[in-house]
Structure 1
Amino acid sequence: MNARNEDGERIPGAAMDRVSLLWRLRRRARRGALCMALFCMTMALLYTFCAENSIPVTDAIFGVKARTRAQPRTHTIVKVLRGTGGSKPMYTDPQKLPGIIPGDPQKPIPILSSSNYSMESSTKDHNLSSKQRKHGLFYWLLAQPLRRALETFFGGRRRGDVGATSGDAVVFGPNGALGEVWNEEMSSSMLGKRLRKVVQNYQAMNKYGVRYPGPESAARHSKLSGPELLCQIKEMVQIATLTPDMKPFSGLPLASQLPPRQITADIGPFKTCAVVSSAGSLKNSGLGKEIDAHDAVMRFNAAPTTGFEKDVGSKTTVRLINSQVMASEDHHFLSSSLYSAGILVSWDPGPYSSDLQEWFNKTDYPIFKQYQRYRRLHPQQPFYILHPRMEWQLWQRIQDNMMETIQKNPPSSGLLGTVLMMSLCEVVHVYEFLPSRRKTELCHYYQRFSDAACTLGAYHPLLYEKNLVKRMNKGSNRDIYTHGRVMLPGFTTFNCTNSSTSSTLSKTI
């Protein structure tokens, strides 16, 4: 039987069926939209409750991979140059890679393999039960498109976590209910194939003429405790900056621009100090107020504070910069206001022999040229240059306490700055040098560039530096896990005269 319209005319049955079908489709569309909205709200609530407050809960519901899948696809750095002998991979200006400095600008060693690659997986588990433990039960109940959406949504918060699940390194050791903290027994054998190869390449290089017998001598000694390590660094690392009376500078125009006294005589002492790394894990940390509460704050290279005050604070007392930053046009060292606040300290890798004449004639980057230019623009700002002897004395302390050969390159700015502040402060809090629960592959909190080498080291012996800092830490593992905070005592606060290592260590310096 046909229906009638408003004018009383009959509506054919086929037309009625089309109207009815359209009405049903609209009703289903409305229901689908409502269900999707409710689903998204539920996911957002679960994310807020779980991801922000409890990593283990998030992993149990959504799986570890849901936090770690999303990777930034930026910075295409590999360029193939066609030439004789076929094509070979070469980096476009590797000196500009954030956090990674090659040992030889003319012969860069590949560190990153592609634009969207930051951690390699060395093992694959094809067992279903193990996969369910890795991804979570909820993950496997969803269709593939929804899985990908969840992975992207939940992975954005802690993009590319550097954890034991990544397969590139067993970086973090268990610590009971606290979760995971840095494993102070870390060695190159625990790295993935890619990073292990990079470290081996740098270990084989010897650009700075390092003459060291190797770790065999250290292997004969017992493992030093934290207090013994502190005393070793205090007694065997001389904190020194260049002064006008040092040759060859004493006979050069540069002498009139160098500070007349050592930095330790001009600055401090401070009661509490913060050493703020540039680590990506500082992002969303909310540590700004805590950092600014210190009497002095050290920052590194081109790390900004504007726009990141909530996480890293705004106070800058000392800024340690390497010669690469000073020379790079991208960093605008001579014109940027970033460097004009506070006290500047610069450094450039000198020869292992610490021969100042040799270093002056062949620096890695034109540190002295840039120093003189900057001093003419800012004659009143305190500006010091570290003596290269300090760098290599600190490197030797690292090597002495490792059972394997480390990279024959100077320590990182992070460790140099930490030891410098230990000579100026009573207590030093170092933030995110040892990664917290926010551990991530993101190199710097102010950039979108990710690679595990920024945490584990490539050019610098970062991996071994972190082992030593973990051993010397006077704070708790909870502070490392929750805040990425290490507490180290200033050199003036402890006495090493009764140290059992004092007499024996002095013979090896």
Structure 2
Amino acid sequence: MGYKIPGAAMDRVSLLWRLRRRARRGVLCMGLFCVAMGLLYALCAENSVPVTDAIFGVRARTRAQPRAHSVIKVVRAGGGGAKPIFVNPQDHPGIIPGDPHRPIPVLSASNASLEGGSDPRSRRKDLTGSGGTGYLSWLMPRSLRHLLEGIFGGRRRVGMAGPGGGSDAELFGPHGTLGEVWDEEMSSSMLGKRLRKVVQNYQSMNKYGVPPQSKWGAEGWGSTKRSGPELLCELKSKVEVATVTPDLRPFSGLPWASLLPPQPLTSDLGPFKSCAVVSSAGSLKHSGLGKEIDSHDAVLRFNSAPTVGYEKDVGTKTTVRLINSQVMASDDHRFLSSSLYSAGILVAWDPAPYSADLGEWYNRTDYPIFQQYQKYRRLHPQQPFYILHPRVEWQLWDRIQANMAEAIQRNPPSSGLLGTVLMMSLCEVVHVYEFLPSRRKTELCHYYQRFYDAACTLGAYHPLLYEKNLVKRMNRGPDRDIFTHGRVTLPGFNSFNCSQGVAH
């Protein structure tokens, strides 16, 4: 007589069998869903990075573009041969112009990877074997590799070849286009396809109403290659470093005008004998330059660049901190509450339209610089806090464009160059660290973050590439200093004369 399984036990076995079957179905469905999402991700990544970011909600715009809400996206009208149509993303539905809390996602870092040291050659490979060289890459389709890169914290690599067949990343290699020391003849034609397209887009847009090339008249663009001393004399005579004071209209009629410093920064501060301008570049990581930086009489830093935890590489001293209006407005940077900003003197800046007066600028700021300024001053009434006069940005932009043989981005210069010129007005000699990349050159954007993008060195929103060309030409130190320390030596405006048109 056979053994009979009780009914209750049969029910439990049947339930367990059904649960296992549902679990298998769930795993299969989840696998198919992941594959489908991977295919969609790869399709969007290959064809339209902004579309990818819009679908997935990625806030991965390059940090070289602090005002990304004004980016112009190029689309083709109709079939081949049609002219590009430039569409302002601000006009897209659901976009709030100028809202720092809802930036338009553009330009994901297509060449970024996991951090594994400041030298790109030393980065560890991610799980998927980025670039197709890993031991698992040949076992899985590219779409699944993209998906795994996203899951495990990596960034996708899109093979956008440059003129030599390489990507933006290859500029930074030991035999890359950048070479050992920055070449002052660098041009957009040397960039990879991705960055070249971005630069061309920015050259075509004109948010700030910059006049056309004819403005330069006979001077032209690159009509005469000026020497370093001649460039220094141009900056000294044609760029007037100034800050906003309460006697200027419209501020003189505002109730909070008393919060502004009564004298310009150049009257209150300095002169200093030796100064350091410390960039936020990733190549400062493992530099060991901290003691040298702190040995200067005054040190300028940028935006939210920290010193705590990075003292060995960037030092501890902060005399001046130059911050842009986006940092002031962004909740992520905690401008009003973070102790990071309480050290030293603050100088804020925000780009104005090219030909605007102070009244027009007051009503057309990129970010709410004046609201944030008032809040901060009431919280920290004893800390010196200046606002850079907007004409400084465009006077400096004019000098860059007048000395370049091609059109540059019609956007203000970077904080890096603004800070350098600011310190040149306060110091006898200025040492700028890692504005021109050293032998440690890397795609790592900032020494304090894990974000890789060649645009942080070569420029996207800002005309960084052209700024570096100018700085290289004006450098009074040896190329060896650039290679080993990323150090550029520039004279202060008051330490040389231009009576003969040549600096001494």
**How far does residue 461 in structure 1 lie from its aligned partner after superposition?**
0.2
Cα distance in 2, alignment partners of residues 96 and 329 from structure 1? 17
Residue-by-residue CA offset, 1:417-464 (whole Å, 9 max, x unaligned): 000000000010000000000000000000000000000000000000
Measured after TM superposition, the shift of residue 169 of structure 1 is 7.9
Residue 110 (str. 1) matches residue 110 (str. 2)? no
- Superposed displacement of residue 362, structure 1: 1.4
Quick check: 1:248–1:356 contact (8 Å CA) kept in 2?
yes
Cα distance, 1:211 vs. partner?
1.0
Q: Does 1:323 align with 2:325?
A: yes
Amino acid at match of 2:183: N
Distance 1:113 1:280, change over 3 A: closer
Over the matched positions of the two proteins, sequence identity in percent amounts to 69
| Distance verdict in 2 for CA 1:96–1:169, change over 3 Å | closer
- Map 1:310-389; keep pairs closer than 5 Å: 310-389=312-391
Q: Quick one: distance in 2 between partners of 1:193 and 1:368?
A: 39
Query: Which digits, 9 at most, give the CA deviation of each residue in 1:119-151, with x for residues without a partner?
Result: xxxxxxxxxxxxxxxxxxxxxxxx985999xxx
Structure with bigger gyration radius: 1
Q: Does 1:426 find its partner at 2:428?
A: yes
What is residue 11 of structure 1 aligned with on the other side?
none
Letter in 2 for 1:292: D
Asked if 1 retains the 8 angstrom alpha-carbon contact of 2:208 and 2:411, the reply is yes
State yes or no: 1:98 paired with 2:63.
Answer: yes
1:393-432 to structure 2, matched below 5 A, reads 393-432=395-434
Q: Which runs of 5+ in 2 are unaligned?
A: 1-40, 45-49, 71-88, 91-103, 115-132, 139-156
Task: State the Cα distance separating 1:346 from its structure 2 match.
Answer: 0.3
- In structure 2, do the counterparts of structure 1 residues 356 and 379 end up closer, same or farther at CA, with 3 Å as the change threshold? same
- The range that moved more, 104-113 or 239-248, is 104-113
Distance 1:307 1:242, change over 3 A: same
- Residue by residue over 1:17-69, the C-alpha shift from the partner in whole angstroms, topping out at 9 and shown as x without a partner, is xxxxxxxxxxxxxxxxxxxxxxxxxxxxxxxxxxxxxxxxxxxxxxxxxxxxx
Mapped partners of 2:60, 2:270: distance in 1: 34
Name 2:185's counterpart in structure 1: 185
Partner in structure 2 of residue 257 of structure 1: 259
Kindly state the Cα deviation for residue 102 of structure 1 after the two structures are TM-superposed.
3.8
Deviations 1:140-197, CA, capped at 9 Å, x for gaps: xxx985999xxxxxxxxxxx9xx9995438868999xxx7100110111111111000
1-structure distance, mates of 2:303, 2:502: 38
1:268 and 1:199 map into 2 onto residues whose CA distance is 37
The SS at the match of 1:339 is helix
Matched, 1:88 2:54: no
Change (3 A) 1:228 1:93: farther
Cross-structure match for 1:305: 307
Q: Which residue of 2 aligns with 1:198?
A: 198
**8 Å Cα contact 2:229/2:502 also seen in 1:** no
Answer whether contact 1:218 1:402 (CA < 8 A) is retained.
Answer: no
Which deviates more, 342-351 or 217-226?
Answer: 217-226
Root mean square deviation, CA, Å: 3.2
Q: What TM-score do you get using the length of structure 1 for normalisation? A: 0.69
Aligned in 2, Cα 1:212/1:171: closer, same or farther, shift over 3 Å? farther
Alignment match, 1:268: 270
Indicate how the Cα distance of structure 1 residues 218 and 245 shifts in structure 2: closer, same or farther if over 3 A, else same.
same
Structure 1 residues 220 and 480: CA distance shift in structure 2, 3 A: closer
Q: Could you say which residue in structure 2 is the equivalent of 1:277?
A: 279
Q: State the alpha-carbon separation in 2 of the partners of residues 266 and 385 from structure 1.
A: 14
C-alpha displacement at 1:354, in angstroms?
3.5
1:248 Cα offset (Å) = 0.6
Letter in 2 for 1:436: S
Q: Which residue of 1 aligns with 2:142?
A: none
**Deviating 4+ runs (over 6 angstroms):** 78-81, 172-175
SS at 1:411 equivalent: coil
Question: Residue 239 of structure 2 aligns to which amino acid in structure 1?
Answer: V
Instruction: Measure how far apart 1:468 and its partner are.
Output: 0.2
**Following TM superposition, by how much is the alpha carbon of 1:213 offset from its aligned partner in structure 2, in angstroms?**
1.8
1:199-243 deviation digits (Å, cap 9, x = unpaired): 011111111111132678434732000000000000000101000
Residues 488 and 477 (structure 1), Cα distance of their counterparts in 2 relative to 1, 3 Å cut: same
CA distance in 2, matches of 1:358, 1:460: 23
1:299 CA displacement: 0.3
Distance 2:469 2:173 in 1: 12
Q: CA deviation at 1:117?
A: 6.2
Whole-angstrom CA distance in 1 between matches of 2:222 and 2:452? 39
TM-score (norm 2): 0.70
Q: 1:258 touches 1:384 (CA, 8 Å); kept in 2?
A: yes
How far did residue 349 of structure 1 move?
A: 0.6
Distance in 2 (alpha carbons) for counterparts of 1:80 and 1:355:
46
**Aligned position for 1:495:** 497
1:468-507 equivalences under 5 Å are 468-499=470-501
**Equivalent residues of 1:172, 1:182 under 8 A apart:** no
Which secondary structure does the structure 2 equivalent of 1:181 belong to? coil
Contact 2:430 2:489 in 1 (8 A): yes
Distance of aligned partners of 1:147 and 1:197 in 2 relative to their CA distance in 1, 3 Å threshold: closer
Change (3 A) 1:93 1:396: farther
Change (3 A) 1:476 1:336: same
- Partner Cα separation in structure 2 for residue 339 and residue 79 of structure 1: 41
- Match for residue 289 of structure 1? 291
Cα separation, 2, equivalents of 1:234 and 1:474: 16
For 2:134 and 2:66, the matched residues in 1 are separated by 40
* Contact 2:189–2:196 (CA under 8 A) maintained in structure 1: yes
Question: 1: CA distance between counterparts of 2:173 and 2:396?
Answer: 26
